[in-house]
Amino acid sequence: MDVNALVALAGVLVTALGSVAVTKFNNRKDLTLSDRQQLSQEQKQIRDELREEIKSLRDEMKIWRDRSLHLEDELRNWKEKYTTLELDYIKATARIEELEKRLNQREGGD
């Protein structure tokens, strides 16, 4: 073979190897971009799901907070009723003792 033919063959081989290398690099680059886009979409979906879950939990927390406030009001009302009944009981007991004492005095005086 002639030197010119070898140089031409070497040039073709270098060009072919260069083309293969560039093609592989571009394919990897395309895959990387595709992977990044897919990952970005997955992350967006996860963020959307998390936002929805947070909103749902906030709504549920508001419901529980409202129930808690309602129960606190109910408890306060029952405490007031209990206190009133307790005071009435103390007054009634004192009045009964007073009346029994007067009755005993009358029975003893007769």
Q: How many Å apart are CA 10 and CA 108, to the nearest integer?
A: 141
Q: What is the pTM of this model?
A: 0.49
pLDDT at 38: 79
Read off the amino acid at residue 72. Answer: E
The predicted structure's pLDDT at residue 19: 79
Secondary structure (3-state) at 1: coil
Amino acid 67: pLDDT: 94
pLDDT score of 11: 79
Instruction: Give me 59's structure tokens.
Output: 């709504």
d(CA 59, CA 53): 10
Question: What is the predicted pLDDT for the residue at 41?
Answer: 87
Q: Which residues of the chain register pLDDT less than 50?
A: none
